[in-house]
Chain A
Amino acid sequence: MKTVAAAAVIVIVLASGGVASGSSKATVSVYAAASLTDAFPKIAPGAKYSFAGSNTLAAQIRLGAPADVFASANMTLPEQLYKDKRCSKPVVFTRNRLTVIVPKSNPANINSVYDLRKHGIRLVIAGPTVPVGSYTLQVLRNMNLTGVLANVVSRETDVREVLAKIALGEGDAGFVYSTDAKTVPGKVRTLKIPAWAQPKVQYGICVVSASSNKAAARAFVKRVIGPAGQKILVRYGFLPRVKPKAPH
């Protein structure tokens, strides 16, 4: 066992000798929810990004992934990391809405959320541990439509996988964020989910405790929360991080 471990260490040392060490001081490494794939690089083009389901990223951070910043599509995951002292106290940096999408050709002729009850349609959603997957379940509960879960043909690992399956026309309908639907306007049609059924979609951001690059990480968070970052997020269809006061 010890020899085996020693041998493995030798290989790893040899392997890392050949590859330039990935963590250069200046670039900040951002682990961000898949729905931020388009907006984040516009906010800070110099950072390195890893986009995936927030739940996957949180698990990677727990296993010691070299992340400096964690940007999640919910508050639960960063708050859990914060409770376990693995990241700083998360703050809300943007909000979002859910929407139903169908392929442009709309093969199953779905024209409202209630049409998802049609027998035998191919509904694609994200897995229950993916933030968008749990929001989807909330919407269905709010609208008393949990029966449509019988039509689910796949539970994907992040929101962009749902988007791809619908944009390709493989699935008949899917639940994504409205910001994702906007990235492929020629391929999908969106069906509105009423405001009263919308879940509270808040994105949380925090600085990873194990980061060796905390100053740059904090600067990144500041930029996202600041006017420049907010402007770009809004341009991509995200909602400002603070709800504007109702005018009355």
Chain B
Amino acid sequence: MRKAGWAALVFLAAAVGLGFLTLPVVALFTRVPPGELVRLLGNPVVRDAIVVSLKTTLIAQVLILLFGTPLAYLLATRRFPGRQVLVTLVELPLVLPPAVAGIGLLAALGRFGLLGSTLDAFGLRIGFTQTAVVLAVAFVAGPFYVRTAIASFEGVDPNLVAASRTLGAGPARTFFRVALPLAGSGLAAGEALAFARGLGEFGATIMFAGSLQGVTQTLPLAIYAQFEADFDVAVAMGALLVVVSFALLLSLKLVFGWQPSQRTSHSVFARTS
């Protein structure tokens, strides 16, 4: 009896949680007939926003993988004083309000910022360019990848790495042939999160890069701009972003076999968080 009551309670709480998290998403689609989504692709504002969003997010992801992976690997495999502080610093953008991220980027890379004046001297102008969008996305989304990547590298059995080294493989070969494949599914999971977060980035972008159609206006910025101009177009764009994000997350899960069954069978792959 108490068991049944407990089960009902858990079920009810789960239903409330599920309902709350899915209702706004479902509501988007009740306002947009499916045909509208297709028609929307003909709207130049929407098309430009999709192109800008995909381009900047993809470039940002390349940067995140290129610089985030070594960073995560070192932080996962080395022990040194102050490591926890460093890891916390790297994770900080996760919890910073995007507005703070925007101000920070302006203070660092703005025209009169810490590095900005030096960059300006080299003729590198970041403000109001797609570079600014890429940097804002990389800053805000990067920690999602790095954080997961640290945990994945930490989950790699050090005995396997040691075995690889004693069998004569150099550190680079060991990294590419042992550590990277073993951490792979965790890295993919982190990358999927970073990609999705990057697509949704808004606050830091609008502060640091501004908003101009075809240049810096990403989908979220276009949604905001359309909110008061044409609410239905804004809703439709929102639905579009939901479809893209959902497809992205789901396909990454399917492709990389990011399922609980595998998690329990191969403990090495399991530590993704």
Q: B211 touches which one: A1, A8, A11, A155 (CB < 8 A)?
A: A155
| B212–A155 touching, CB < 8 Å | yes
Q: In chain B between 106 and 147, which residues have their CB closer than 8 angstroms to a CB of chain A?
A: 106, 110-112, 127-128
Tell me which residues across on chain B come within 8 A of A53, comparing CB atoms.
228
Q: Is the CB of B15 within 8 A of A7?
A: yes
- Distance in Å: Cβ of B100 to nearest Cβ of chain A: 15
In the complex the two chains form, what is the Cα distance from A178 to B104 in whole Å?
A: 29
Q: Is B175's beta carbon under 8 Å from chain A?
A: no
CB within 8 Å of B: which A157-210 residues:
157, 165, 168-171
Residues of A within 8 A of B210 (CB): 124, 153-156, 165
Question: Please, which residue of chain B has its CB at the minimum distance from the CB of A123?
Answer: B128
B16 close to A7 (CB less than 8 A): yes
CB pair A153 B23 closer than 8 Å:
no
Q: Are A153 and B212 in contact (CB under 8 A)?
A: yes
Least CB distance from A223 to B in Å reads 28
Distance of A63 Cα from B227 Cα, bound (Å): 11
B231 close to A59 (CB less than 8 A): yes
Do the beta carbons of A154 and B128 come within 8 Å of each other? yes
- The number of inter-chain residue pairs (CB within 8 angstroms) is 86
Interface pair B16/A11, CB less than 8 Å apart = yes
A94 contacts partner chain B, Cβ-Cβ < 8 Å: no
Residue from A10, A56, A152 within 8 A of B16 (CB atoms): A10
A107 touching B111, Cβ below 8 Å: yes
- Tell me, yes or no, whether B86 is within 8 Å of chain A by CB: no
The distance in angstroms between the C-alpha atoms of A28 and B38, with both chains bound, is: 44
Q: A1-B26, A129-B228 are known contacts. Are A170 and B106 too (CB-CB below 8 A)?
A: yes
Complex partner residue of A171 from B17, B20, B128, B216, CB under 8 angstroms: B128
Is chain A's binding surface mostly helix, strand, loop or mixed?
Answer: mixed
Set of chain A residues within 8 Å of B26, measured between Cβ atoms: 1, 4
The answer to whether B172 has its CB under 8 Å from any CB of chain A is no
Q: Provided the pairs A153-B210, A154-B128, A170-B127 are in contact, do residues A56 and B228 lie with their beta carbons within 8 angstroms? A: yes
Determine if B22 is an interface residue (Cβ-Cβ < 8 Å): yes
Contacts of A96 in B (CB 8 A): none
Residue of B nearest to A2 (CB): B19
Question: A59–B228 contact, CB under 8 A?
Answer: yes
Q: Provide the residues of chain A in CB contact with B128, threshold 8 Å.
A: 122, 124, 153-154, 170-171
Using Cβ atoms and an 8 Å threshold, which residues of chain A touch B160? Answer: none
Give chain A's interface residue range (CB within 8 Å of chain B).
20 to 34
Instruction: Point out the residues of chain B lying under 8 angstroms from A8, CB to CB.
Output: 19-20, 23
Interface membership of chain A positions 1-25, coded 1 if the CB is closer than 8 angstroms to chain B and 0 otherwise: 1011111101100000000000000
B96 touches A (CB below 8 Å): no
Q: A55 within 8 Å of B by Cβ? A: yes
**For window 128-160 of chain A, which residues contact chain B by CB distance below 8 Å?**
129, 152-157
Minimum CB–CB distance from B8 to chain A (whole Å) comes to: 14
B residues less than 8 Å from A171 (CB atoms): 127-128
With a cutoff of 8 Å between Cβ atoms, the chain B residues found around residue A157 in the complex are 206, 211, 224-225
Closest to B24 in A: A8
Contact B19 A169 (CB under 8 A): no
* Cβ A4 vs Cβ B110 within 8 A: no
Q: Cβ of B18 < 8 Å from any Cβ of A? A: yes
> With A8-B23, A154-B211 as given contacts, are A56 and B110 in contact (CB-CB < 8 Å)?
no
Complexed CA–CA distance, A129 and B18 (Å): 37
Q: How far is the CA of A170 from the CA of B112 in the complex (A)?
A: 8
Q: Which of B110, B212, B225, B227 is in CB contact (< 8 Å) with A152?
A: B212
Query: Could you tell me if B225 and A5 are in contact, using CB atoms closer than 8 angstroms?
Result: no
The 8 A CB mask of B14-38 against A (1 = contact, 0 = none) is 0111111011001000000000000
Give the CA-CA distance A5 to B127 in the complex, in Å. Answer: 44
Q: In the complex, A11 Cα to B40 Cα: how many Å?
A: 33
- Give the Cβ gap from A83 to chain B, nearest Cβ, in Å: 17
* A159 → chain B closest CB, angstroms: 14
| B110:A168 contact, CB within 8 angstroms | yes
**Which one of A59, A153, A165, A170 contacts B227 once the chains associate, using CB atoms below 8 Å?**
A59
B254 in the interface (beta carbon within 8 A): no
Taking CB atoms, residues of chain B closer than 8 Å to A154 are 128, 209-212, 216
Q: Which residues of A contact B85 (CB under 8 A)?
A: none
**What chain B residues lie within 8 Å of A1 (beta carbons)?**
26
Closest chain A residue to B226, Cβ basis: A129
A66 within 8 A of B: no
Report if A129-B15 is in contact (Cβ < 8 Å); known contacts: A4-B23, A122-B127.
Answer: no
Cβ of A127 within 8 Å of any chain B Cβ, yes or no, is yes
Which residues of A come within 8 Å of B, CB atoms? 1, 3-8, 10-11, 53, 55-56, 58-59, 62-63, 107, 122, 124, 127, 129, 152-157, 165, 168-171
Given A1-B26, A5-B23, A153-B212, 12 additional A-B pairs, CB 8 A:
A3-B19, A4-B19, A56-B227, A59-B227, A107-B111, A154-B128, A155-B210, A155-B213, A157-B206, A168-B111, A169-B110, A170-B106
